[in-house]
Every structure is written in C-alpha cells, then in structure tokens.
Amino acid sequence: MLRRANNAYEPPAGKKDQLAKQLFPSSSPAQDGNIEASLKKARQSTQSIAGFTGLTNKSNPLYTKSSNIGQGLKRKSDSFSSVFSRADSFQDTPNTIDLTMDDKSGSNRLSNSNYPVHFDENDFDDDADLDLDIDYPIPSATTMAAPPKHLSQKRVTAPQSPYALPQQSRYLARTNTPQHPSSSAQTWSSSSPSHLAPPPASLIRQQRELQNVREMFADEAADVAPRPAKRRTLPWPQKRAEEDEIAARNQERAELLASQDTSASSAPIVCFRCREKGHSIRECPKSKSRGSEWDYTPIPKDKSMPWNTTASAVKEQQKKFKDKQKASRKVDEGARQALEDHNKRKNLALAPISLSEEQKRVLDLVVKQSKSVFFTGSAGTGKSVLMRAIIAELRKKYVKEPDRIAVTASTGLAACNIGGVTLHSFGGIGLGKEDVPTLVKKIRRNQKAKLRWMRTKILIIDEISMVDGDLFDKLEGIARSMRNNGRAFGGIQLVITGDFFQLPPVPDYDNKARGAKFAFDATTWPTSIHHTIGLTEVFRQKDPVFANMLNEMRLGKITDETVKAFRRLSRPIKYEDALDATELFPTRGEVENSNAFRMRDLVGKSYKYEAMDSGTITDVGIRDKLLSNMMAPKLIELKKGAQVMLIKNMDDGLVNGSLGKVVAFMTETNFEVYHRNPDILDDGVPLEELDEEDQKVRTSILNSKKPAPNSGREFPLVRFSVADGTSRDLLVQPEDWKVELPNGEVQAQRSQLPLILAWALSIHKAQGQTLERVKIDLRKIFEKGQAYVALSRATSQAGLEVQNFEKSKVMAHPRVAEFYNSLYSVNKALEHPKVAPLPKKAKAYEDEFLIADMEQSQGHDFDEEEAVMAAYG
C-alpha cells in the first residue's frame, strides 16, 4: 500500500529534500538528512572532548608546584639549662665609644646602590644538562582517550540507542535491531522497503561481529547473552535486565570485599534491589530469576532504590566502598603525611624558636643599643640561631636601606648558611695579601667595593675562629681609611660570633713560621669589640653528662673518667630503620671515596641532578668557585636506597641535617597518586588489589619507566627519619642558594635539590650542623679543634660512635685556652672588694670560662681602665 502510495505521489522537484529535512527536529544532528556525516561530526567533537579530558586529568590544574619556604629557625626542643647555665654570663666591658654614628660622607647620594640582578644568557646553559629523562614519544591525548579501533568503527554505523546503558551493553542491545547501512543518505520516502533488509553477506558479517563482541564481553555479559528472538520485546525490560545484572554484580563484589574485611564481616547482607536485609538481589522475591533471564515485577519508583541509580552512581558507590576499605587498611603514617608536607611547605612558615633570656639580651644590645658585640659559647649554645634572629631584626630595622647591613663569614660555606658573602668578598680585597694602603687603592678603583665600605653601618662576621688576626687588622685599617673616620672600624658596628675552640684559621702557607694568628690576637680586636658575651645554655645536647664531657674536651681539660666514657662509645651501632650514622672525615677526598663506594653497592637506575647556576658574575670560573663553597653540590647522583641528608630547613620536623633514604623516583603527578594510595609502593599489597590507574603508576615507578614527556620531571622521594622516631616522606624538589651582596645584588645563585649524600661528610661541612647519628675515627684527626667540632655535632651519646679515642687527639689550642682564661679572669676581677659580689650561681662556675654581664648582674659601672684590666689581664 505504501509502495503504491509512494509511486502515485511524485513530489515537485526539490521538495524531496525539504521533506527529508523536516523529519528531523532542529536539535537533531542530522538536519541535512546526511546521518553519516552528522554522526561523524558528533564523533569528532566527542573525541576532542575526550582528548581534552585526558589532558586535564594528566595535568591537574589545581596543583600548584611547591616552592621553597624561607629559611628559618628550627628545632623544637625543650629548653635545657646546661651545667653552664647557672651563671649569668653577660659581661659588659667598658664601652664609652658612641657607635650610633651616621655616615656623613655623602653616602646618601648613592642612589644607584641597588643593582639589578643580571642574568647572562649562558647562565642557563645547564638546563640542557639536566637529566630530565623525557625522550619518549608522547601518545596524543586523543589516542589515549579513544576506544579500541574496532569498537569506534562499529559505533559509527550503529544507530543511537535510546537507552543510556554502559557502552558494551548498549552495543549488545543494538545487535537485535536490524542494522541500517548508512553509507549513503537515504530518506524514508525514497527508500524501497527492501533496502531495509540487510543483504545476506552483511547479515553474516553482522552475526560474526556479534559473536566477537559476545566473546569480548563474555565476563560482563554472560547472563545477558541474547536469547532467541521473541516475537515482540519492549526495550525497557532489556534495559532493566542489564541494570539489575549490574546491581547484582555490584552486590556480589561488595559482599566479596566485605568478607575480606574482618571488621565488616558481621554486617548483614542487604539486598541491592529491595533494600531488605538477609538476602541478596539474586534471591530477592521481587525479582525472580529464570536461568539467565529475569522477570521484572514493576516496583513503584523510589529514587533511593539502587536500581534507580545510574551507572555512574553505581560506580561512585563502588569507589566510596573501595576508599573506605583502603582507609581501614593500615598504612604508613609517614606516607599519608607526604602530600600534606609537599603541599603545605609553600605556605608553611617555620615556627620561630623563642630565644632564651641570654640570647634576647644579646639581641637587644645589638639591635636596640647598636653596640659592637662578640658573642661566643660552646657548640650548640645557639650562636647561629641568635645570629639569624639578629640579622632578621636588623633587616626589619633597616628595611629601607638593606645595604647598611653587611652579612659575612670567614668561609664560603659559613657565609651561605647565613645568606651572606665571605669577608674577603665583602671587602673587595681579593686574597688580601697586600698592605692596607695598597688594598685601599685597590678598593677605591672598585666602585662597588668602595660603596660597600661607605654604606655599611653594621658588619656581621660569623665563624670568627677561622678569620686570620692579620686580616682583621687590615680590615679595620681599611674601614678607617675608606670612611675617613678615626674611630675603630671607621665607626662600623661589629656583630661577631664563633667559638675559638672550633676550627682555626686556614694556615697561611706564605707565612708558615708565624703559625695561627686568631682574630683575638689582632691588635685592633680589643678596641673594636665592646661587649664580649658568653652564651652558656646548651641546646643541642639535652643530656648534661654528655654536654659536660664535650665541654671538658673543648677546654682541653679532660678527666680520666671522661676519657673512659668516650672510649665506651666505640661500640658499633645498628639502627632499626637501617639508616647508618654519618661518618665524619677531615678531608674531602676521604668523604668522596666513602660515598662513592657505598653508591657502587646499590643496584638500579642512577639519576643525576645538575644544579642550575646563575648570578651577576658572568665569569663562569669565578662564579663556580664562589658556588663551590655551598653545601648544595654542582651535581648529585642518586639511586634508590641512597642515604641522603637534607641541607635546608623545611619545617619543624624536617630540618637541615635530617637523615633519610631515597625510596623511589617519581613525577609530581605520580606523587599525588602515591599520596592518595601509599599502597602503590607497598610490596605486601598485590598488584591486582590496586585499581587500574594505581597499577600503572606502580609499574612505572617500580620499573623505573621514563615518564611521559609532558608529565614532568622525576624527583627523589625520600623517607626521612624524624627525631620523634617516626618517618616522613618528602618529594624533594630544587631549592635556591644565593651569594648576595649587601645591596641585594645576587652575585651567584644555585638551584639544586637540597640533598647531599650522607654516608660520609667532611668535618668542615659538618661545622654548624646538628646530627642525630655520628661516627668518627679519631686516628684521622690532624688539626686542633677538629675532634671537638666532630663530636659536638652529636645530640646524644646514643647516636655517637667514636673509634680510637685518644686524649692527645683532643687538642685545644693553648692560645685559645689562654684567651678564654683571660675572659674567665673577669670573674676574678669582679670579686674585687670595690665591686658588688657576683651572684651565687656565677660563683659556682668559677671553673668555667665565664664572662659576666656587668650591667646586668652587677648593676655597677666600672671605670674603663678597671674593666679593661679585668677583661684582658
């Protein structure tokens, strides 16, 4: 009939197309009647969306790269009053010179004091050397997101299913429907009904395809395999069958998981269909099973019912369940904390250490009263902590004129530790071998150095024990000459710290016969320093017995009992976390050998991290020399299992000196996955228990697979041992070190991982560090002060192993002992009848070097002559 009507009706030319177009509502993709073209278009847009999603998943836009937190004050430890702290150690030697001078030498004209930081184009040459390991071909996001080829081809030819079932089920459902060959656009009006019947060949091909797909989804679709065609089937029971099948499977999986979880095993079974307890969906009376078919009794719609949930909601439920399971599993706390550490570091300000009373008094003298001060004390009395606090306060005070403060130290390493430059660099004196007039001429030719001498109001010198006495005198002379000011150091306020019992000045090979000349030996020392203060509270060692042993050693007055106690420390120590003590050596060669030997023992891929150096110094040779003083090495090679030490403060728990082991190398993206599920690195968890993404991440990390080029660089994941006995994981990323001039000019800068190999360390590099585990063989010691520096790094006897302890190796320099004894004689002087007696606690410490703060403890003003005699014998 239709054919007849069709034949009878001959539409006017051009109308056929219009009619075809009207058949599709405007929202339909096939408005021009060309279904294939429209489907193609739709597919393309879907693919591009899939590609985009793939990309955004890979690079989480919410992720912000962690950056350095500022250096700060560290170590949360209970304040401990050492055996020395009973004395009030402040001593105010006569101070009649007014140091609150202002530079009237035209310094205010110096408007160009702030030099811009200059980066030479060659500064970043090292970029090319970075071992990025990223030469792999990138699979395009669209390729990654696209389904298997054969499936996507089928999807093109298949008509849209009206039911939003999972892809494979949808495909199965469609296979009962005759396929429309869509190779050309056919409008119904022009199609012969016979065209709708598939040709015999295509029917066979279709059946084959159907068979393939059935096999492919055999697991998911076993129970919904198409039954012999019914005469008439409404689409909804089919959809229900599949949805219920999914629900049944979900329930079975949930029950299986619950049975593995002992904590949940007592929970009763709940039907996913009717929500009643005591039976599963397969036994549900409301859904009778007939073999692989299901008879569906319509049940009133209830949103809360599980079968009304969409496939994505079911997935969501599954995910929640899995997450719960994972959360209940015991995981390494350190790993759980890892990402928080990683992400918080950026904003986390280190909790400042609250200064002790004696530290505060020094701070006050320097910052508020602008006095020239030398503060000293045994190892661990917080000299560095105090110095950093002083610098911070002075920077606040001179916030508008930062170049008024010159931060320097005797060595490059010490200078780096406080963010300054060497004394030589500051002075612009090169090696400083010439006499003062020659050096002054040299400086006058150097505009920058000249400006520094004119502008500086406060000169900070750290690790004074390594400053040569002659150099001190020369600098003093230069300052007077350059500033045309006859006062000591040309009126510059000095803030000096260090412990002369520690490492002495580097020997002057041109002047060997002279021997070591300390800064306190300098002629101008007494006139330049107006307050000498001894810090007495030891913070590093909490055990007073150990602190006392170290102090005896420092003074070179070691008792037999102490010798015995040190000899008892020769036992080998085995630590539970398999982290070895750091062995200290006097020479760099011994350190390099020891670390290289241990590295060779490790199997596995080696990762090299080369520093990125820059700065205003364009001469790479000079810059390298400057940077070679830094703790951060030019190149660090790491392997899984390498023992490393953190060389920057990260937060209260992860500090400069923290010891750790490299446990893996990973990108930031993989690190986030690791944070979500630390099981990916747990050998005890079988691979099958991880979901697909986690499996991939585990495989790529364990097999040291190169990351995809756009997924970022791999960094070491280090498990640090924390003082409280726990461990913490940190993905260690580069930090910056700078050599900065007082005017803010960054002479040299290094960006490198804040790590060094830590099986062995030089005593020189260890100076200033606090170490939980130390090992030392005293046979190797050759210099005075070396043994004291090495042993006093340890925080406790439990973490110290000493081999071959000999009294003769524990040498204090006689002149240093003399100097400190002369300071001690101040106390004797204080017992002069004219003077009010010392407080009792100070008297009890007559045997120790002690410098009393006359202003504070006596409330008595000495006349200048009397005090000078007292202080310097």
Ligand X SMILES: Nc1ncnc2c1ncn2[C@@H]1O[C@H](COP(=O)(O)OP(=O)(O)OP(=O)(O)O)[C@@H](O)[C@H]1O
- Pick the closer one to ligand X by CB: 77 or 153: 77
> Which one of 377-385, 466-474, 667-675, 713-721 is the stretch in contact with ligand X (CB under 6 A)?
377-385
- Pick the closer one to ligand X by CB: 134 or 355: 355
Cα angle, residue 559 at apex, residues 553 and 561 outer, rounded to 5°: 110
Helix (H/G/I), strand (E/B), else coil: 454? helix
| Strand bridging mode 800-803 / 774-777 | parallel
Report the distance separating Cα 412 and Cα 629, nearest Å.
5
- Judge whether 376 is annotated as a binding position: no
Among 271, 250, 69, 65, smallest CA distance to 713 is for: 65
Total residues in contact with ligand X, by rule CB under 6 A: 22
Copy the structure tokens of residue 670. Answer: 């993989």
Q: Under a CB-based contact definition with an 8 Å cutoff, are residues 411 and 468 in contact? A: no
Question: Which residues does residue 533 pair with via DSSP β-bridges, in sequence order?
Answer: 375
- Pick the closer one to ligand X by CB: 95 or 548: 548
Judged by CB under 6 A, which of 48, 60, 77, 259 binds ligand X?
77
Judged by CB under 6 A, which of 90, 307, 520, 539 binds ligand X?
539
- Pick the closer one to ligand X by CB: 341 or 463: 463
> Which one of 17-25, 382-390, 580-588, 818-826 is the stretch in contact with ligand X (CB under 6 A)?
382-390
Residue 381 is a binding residue for ligand X (CB under 6 A): yes
- Judge whether 379 is annotated as a binding position: yes
The owner of tokens 């002629």 is 523
> Which one of 72-80, 417-425, 428-436, 851-859 is the stretch in contact with ligand X (CB under 6 A)?
72-80
Tally Cβ neighbours within 10 Å of residue 376. 25
- Pick the closer one to ligand X by CB: 337 or 356: 356
Q: Closest distance between ligand X and the C-beta of residue 387, in Å?
A: 8
The owner of tokens 């005075």 is 784
- Computed over its alpha carbons, how large is the radius of gyration of the chain? 39
- Pick the closer one to ligand X by CB: 172 or 535: 535
Q: Residue 663: in which H helix or E strand, if any?
A: strand 659-666
- Pick the closer one to ligand X by CB: 74 or 480: 74
The owner of tokens 């329930």 is 251
Report the distance separating Cα 436 and Cα 249, nearest Å.
90
Judged by CB under 6 A, which of 69, 74, 745, 773 binds ligand X?
74
Binding mask 738-777 for ligand X (x = CB under 6 A): ------------------------------x-x-------
Report the distance separating Cα 711 and Cα 57, nearest Å.
11
- Judge whether 46 is annotated as a binding position: no
Residue 499 is a binding residue for ligand X (CB under 6 A): yes
> Which one of 70-78, 557-565, 610-618, 644-652 is the stretch in contact with ligand X (CB under 6 A)?
70-78
Q: Closest distance between ligand X and the C-beta of residue 377, in Å?
A: 6
What angle in degrees, to the nearest 10, is found between the helix axes of 447-455 and 469-483? Answer: 90
Q: Under a CB-based contact definition with an 8 Å cutoff, are residues 581 and 799 in contact? A: yes
Q: Closest distance between ligand X and the C-beta of residue 534, in Å?
A: 11
Residue 385 is a binding residue for ligand X (CB under 6 A): yes
Cα angle, residue 619 at apex, residues 753 and 479 outer, rounded to 5°: 95
Q: Under a CB-based contact definition with an 8 Å cutoff, are residues 448 and 428 in contact? A: yes
- Pick the closer one to ligand X by CB: 362 or 870: 362
- Judge whether 384 is annotated as a binding position: yes
Q: SS3 for 465-499, per residue?
A: HHCCHHHHHHHHHHHHHHHCCCCHHHHCEEEEECC
Q: Under a CB-based contact definition with an 8 Å cutoff, are residues 594 and 583 in contact? A: yes
Report the distance separating Cα 337 and Cα 333, nearest Å.
6
Judged by CB under 6 A, which of 174, 404, 530, 540 binds ligand X?
540
Q: Closest distance between ligand X and the C-beta of residue 537, in Å?
A: 8
- Pick the closer one to ligand X by CB: 657 or 716: 657
Q: Closest distance between ligand X and the C-beta of residue 116, in Å?
A: 34
Query: DSSP labels for 90-120?
Result: ---------------SSGGG-GGGSPPPP--
Residue 382 is a binding residue for ligand X (CB under 6 A): yes
- Pick the closer one to ligand X by CB: 350 or 835: 350
- Judge whether 706 is annotated as a binding position: no
- Pick the closer one to ligand X by CB: 196 or 351: 351
Judged by CB under 6 A, which of 359, 562, 614, 643 binds ligand X?
359
Binding mask 255-294 for ligand X (x = CB under 6 A): ----------------------------------------
608: left (phi over 0), alpha (psi -120 to 50) or beta: beta
- Pick the closer one to ligand X by CB: 353 or 423: 353
| Strand bridging mode 606-610 / 421-422 | unpaired
- Pick the closer one to ligand X by CB: 462 or 745: 462
Judged by CB under 6 A, which of 35, 241, 271, 379 binds ligand X?
379
Q: Closest distance between ligand X and the C-beta of residue 137, in Å?
A: 50
Residue 384 is a binding residue for ligand X (CB under 6 A): yes
> Which one of 71-79, 110-118, 251-259, 780-788 is the stretch in contact with ligand X (CB under 6 A)?
71-79
- Judge whether 377 is annotated as a binding position: yes
Report which DSSP code applies to 771: B
- Pick the closer one to ligand X by CB: 82 or 356: 356
Report which DSSP code applies to 715: E
Among 560, 774, 770, 550, smallest CA distance to 82 is for: 550
Judged by CB under 6 A, which of 30, 338, 353, 647 binds ligand X?
353
Tally Cβ neighbours within 10 Å of residue 565. 18
- Judge whether 380 is annotated as a binding position: yes
Copy the structure tokens of residue 149. Answer: 């080829």
Among 545, 546, 536, 543, smallest CA distance to 84 is for: 536
Report which DSSP code applies to 430: T
Amino acid at 734: P
Judged by CB under 6 A, which of 22, 60, 64, 79 binds ligand X?
79
Q: Closest distance between ligand X and the C-beta of residue 466, in Å?
A: 12
Question: Which residues does residue 721 pair with via DSSP β-bridges, in sequence order?
Answer: 727
The owner of tokens 């059935």 is 214
Residue 391 is a binding residue for ligand X (CB under 6 A): no
Residue 643 is a binding residue for ligand X (CB under 6 A): no
Q: Closest distance between ligand X and the C-beta of residue 768, in Å?
A: 4
Judged by CB under 6 A, which of 107, 337, 356, 532 binds ligand X?
356
Q: Closest distance between ligand X and the C-beta of residue 533, in Å?
A: 13
Copy the structure tokens of residue 575. Answer: 């630590």
> Which one of 378-386, 426-434, 622-630, 828-836 is the stretch in contact with ligand X (CB under 6 A)?
378-386
Tally Cβ neighbours within 10 Å of residue 486. 8
Report which DSSP code applies to 776: E
Copy the structure tokens of residue 429. Answer: 């004196």
Q: Closest distance between ligand X and the C-beta of residue 594, in Å?
A: 23
Q: Closest distance between ligand X and the C-beta of residue 379, in Å?
A: 3
Q: Closest distance between ligand X and the C-beta of residue 824, in Å?
A: 19
Copy the structure tokens of residue 602. Answer: 């490790």
Q: Closest distance between ligand X and the C-beta of residue 421, in Å?
A: 19
- Pick the closer one to ligand X by CB: 95 or 656: 656
- Judge whether 77 is annotated as a binding position: no
Report how far Cα 230 is from the mean position of its chain's Cα atoms. 66
Q: Residue 333: in which H helix or E strand, if any?
A: helix 333-344
Residue 75 is a binding residue for ligand X (CB under 6 A): yes
- Please state the residue numbers annotated as binding site for ATP: 377-384
- Please state the residue numbers annotated as binding site: 377-384
- Site residues (vs ligand X, CB under 6 A): 74-75, 77, 79, 353, 355-356, 359, 377, 379-385, 499, 539-540, 768, 770, 792
